[in-house]
Amino acid sequence: MNPYESKKQSFKVIFSEALMFLAVIITVVVLALLVSGYWLNSNFEVERNGMLQISSLPTGANIEIDGKASSWLERTNSSKILSSGEHAVTLSKDGYDTWSKQINISEGLLYRLHYPRLFLNERTSIPAFDAKKYSSATVSATHNSMLLMNDTTSWAYLNLDTTELKPVMLDISSVFSGVSMLEHADAENGEVTVGRFTGQILQANWDYDSSHVLFKVKNGDSIEWVLLDVNDAKKSVNITKEFGADFSRIEILDNNSNNLLAVRGRSLHKIDLPGRLISAILVDNIFDFDHFHNEIIYSTTENIVGYFKIGDTKLTELTSTPAPAKVAISKFYDNKYYTILDGSTVSIYRQDAAGEKAAFYELSFSPDHIKVGHDGEFFLFTKDRQIAALDMEAKAVREWTIENDYGWLDNNMLYTINDGSLIVYDYDGLNRRLIADGVSNHFPATIANDKWLYYFKGTELVREIIAD
């Protein structure tokens, strides 16, 4: 081979490899910039953007951004790069109502909207269950179960996920202390029944798999705690009787209610129900506590906020407060957060941030309760009908006042019943919609299976299909 040709060939190989290497470097840099939110605008100027990820119930809603349909983001359950700053998002779908929100996109960050719900405009109410024998009801945290209660010893459990609702009858005569087993005549229909529930239900909380309801009941001057097994009432546990103790507060610790956290006197304990054991004192002088699986955050009457794990005897002091504080622990994305409510001041700490505050907010009122959203994406701070909604995605608080007592229609939506009108709101009070009339205000409403809306008309439980 000609030496000149050999050198020329070597140069071509080196040049080609250099170009390939340079192309790889440029591609990696461009991808890294894109992932970080950098983009060329219409004027070919580099600007840093954020990303909107949006889904809806039902799926496939049309999307408008700032009043314009997007050629890149035509339907929900997709993502789009947006310029940083405020944007108006509107969702619509043929045959449904609309949903809208003003959002603020941050440079280089993802903004998720995964809770918007649209309702069919034309819906028919179908009688699903005659509840004339019942005076109240409670809905599970998963919104797929309902327990109907009355002043007899026969209550009814309903699985709301089934097309045909068939009640499972529960005999609660041996579960609660506030029960009379004398004969009673029903003046309305002339029936004679044996067994009356005479207690006053103060609280009813479901576990996470909808198999148990934890009741706080007042009998005369005494308080009784009962864990009712809705699958088999005979397996229910009267916690007050079982442990011979007066508990001021009990919380379910795990999915199937095998373990509880209980306050006796001023001390926090763990209750092992299968083993019928109550632990030694976990924390003394307890004021408030919350848990995320086996992780506990607590505050004391001595103004200390601390943290520990079940099974670990070490208590870690997080901070001190001017007065006893309300507390919560939650997970958002992959991070855990401690939330401390001291009067009207909300402080949020990231668990792995070595005690540095992740956020700080001053409210216009002093709430007495904290509720953490289903996925940790929001907090509600409430006092009576005053609500402060903290949106962790938007990093913003919106305060609003609800007109009446409220409940949860699903994991992200509140409802009120005002003069028979069923009105729904997003957790932040936005997207207010009236969706039913003639609704009974002493029974709950709920959405099951993301498809059926349940509410009561008189004593009739009715169902509406809200999504195709």
Tokens (6 digits) for 112: 């998720």
pTM here?
Answer: 0.87
The residue that leads in pLDDT, 42 or 181, is 181
Which pLDDT score, from 0 to 100, does residue 31 have? 47
pLDDT digits (tens, 9 = 90+) for 48-58: 689 999 999 99
Tell me the pLDDT tens digit for each residue of 401-458. 998 999 999 999 999 999 999 999 999 999 999 999 999 999 999 999 999 999 999 9
Burial class (CB in 10 A: 0-12, 13-18, 19+), 320: middle
Question: pLDDT tens for residues 328-366?
Answer: 999 999 999 999 999 999 999 999 876 788 899 999 999
The pLDDT of residue 394 is 92
DSSP code per residue over 257-303: SSEEEEEETTEEEEEETTTTEE-S-SBSSEEEEEEETTEEEEEETTS
**What digits encode the pLDDT tens for the residues 238-277?**
999 999 999 999 999 998 899 999 999 999 999 999 999 9
Distance of CA 202 to the CA centre of its chain: 21
3-state helix, strand, coil split of the chain in percent (to 5) is 10, 50, 40
| Token pair for 247 | 């508990």
Where are the alpha helices (H) located in 287-360, listed in sequence order? Answer: none
pLDDT at 29 over 50: no
pLDDT tens track for 158-208: 999 999 999 999 999 999 998 988 766 565 555 656 689 999 999 999 998
Give the pLDDT score at 69: 80
Cα 185 to chain centroid distance, Å, stands at: 43
As given in the structure block, the two tokens for residue 448 are: 């099951």
Percent of the chain, pLDDT > 90?
Answer: 75
Residue 4 pLDDT = 52
What is the C-alpha separation between 443 and 147, in angstroms, rounded? 11
Cβ(267)–Cβ(281) below 8 Å? yes
